[in-house]
Amino acid sequence: MTKVAIVFLDGVGLGEDDPLVNPLAAARLPALMDALDGRRLVAASGRIDAPRATMVPTDAGLGVKGRPQSATGQAALLTGRNAPKILGEHYGPRPNAVLRSMLEGPTLFTRLLAEQRAVAFVNAYPQGYFDAVARGKRLHGAIPHAAQAAGLRLRTAEDLAAGRALSVDLTNAAWRSTMGYPDMPLWTPWEAGQVLARLSSAHDLVFFDNWATDVAGHGGNLAESVRVMEEIDAFLGGLLAAVDLDATLVAIISDHGNIEDLRAKGHTENLTPTLLIGAGHQRAAEAISDLTHVMPMVLDVMRDA
């Protein structure tokens, strides 16, 4: 049975091959370039067919005018439904009532749990996050909302300290410096990738939601965006070195463009990369042309003997 490890990168599109505006063109990304046979994650690469990986440019607009947003894009990824069309607009970042009820219905998570698959949503959240949600001061994003609605546990600081979860900053440095956990172990991004590989070996599906890319895109700073991309690449290097790619499909997906064009601090209408590495990548890629195809593709890959 094929396992799937999903690394969701919020706000990563396929942009111009211009290192002055696109951190994916400027950054040193050896793990990604190695998987892609030396090609870059930019629009000019088109679809990339490499021995170990396939990258499919993916439509995030879904036939709805305007710039794609996170809540509708993530709902499309998790439910396989055209969330922006159902809503009549691209909406985000946090899901409104219509999207929340959609995310409380059938999703990638509920479908796999109904088949008795071991599923882990591996993001760690600090106690302050849980407190803010409980006080009504904060709404879950679409992905944790769907995870929790499916009955998955949201992971905690204790899980992170024990290597059962991951931090969006990959190194846990922010937990020590600003989130009130001075004793949280520090990891390199590579080590964080190895943590995800270990979690993947213990589950059928692991899902990691990384939104540092979208934050960097909104910030519009090239050096900071390059730093974020290079840390993610080191993380992917650690993951790909440790995961069994004969038995596991690593799927790197996004919900809309943003970081790939720093001339604007908002989202873009660019295609997003769906990067499939390892077990069944070629066949899985055949099923993808827009965001709604990701969820059925993952179910199909995992049902394959």
Least distance from Zn ion to the Cβ atom of residue 258, Å: 6
Q: Can you list the pairs that 108-111 forms with residues at least 24 positions away whose Cβ atoms lie under 8 Å?
A: 108/77, 108/78, 108/79, 108/80, 108/146, 108/205, 108/207, 108/295, 108/298, 108/299, 109/78, 109/146, 109/147, 109/150, 109/152, 109/207, 110/149, 110/150, 111/295, 111/299
Least distance from Zn ion to the Cβ atom of residue 115, Å: 33
Least distance from Zn ion to the Cβ atom of residue 37, Å: 30
CB closer to Zn ion, 214 vs 230: 214
CB closer to Zn ion, 111 vs 256: 256
Least distance from Zn ion to the Cβ atom of residue 214, Å: 4
Site residues for Zn ion, window 112-171 (CB under 5 A)?
A: none
Least distance from Zn ion to the Cβ atom of residue 143, Å: 14
Site residues for Zn ion, window 230-259 (CB under 5 A)?
A: none
Q: Which of 14, 55, 24, 10 is nearest to 275 (CA)?
A: 55
Which amino acid does the sequence have at 296? Answer: P
- The residue count for binding Zn ion (CB under 5 A) is 1
CB closer to Zn ion, 214 vs 261: 214
Least distance from Zn ion to the Cβ atom of residue 271, Å: 17
Is the C-alpha dihedral spanning 78, 65, 100, 141 positive or negative? positive
Draw the binding track, 4-23, toward Zn ion (x: CB under 5 A; -: no contact): --------------------
Among 214, 230, 233, 260, binds Zn ion (CB under 5 A): 214
Determine the length of the chain: 305
CB closer to Zn ion, 106 vs 219: 219
Q: Nearest-CB residue to Zn ion?
A: 214
Q: What does the binding site for Zn ion look like in residue numbers (CB under 5 A)? A: 214
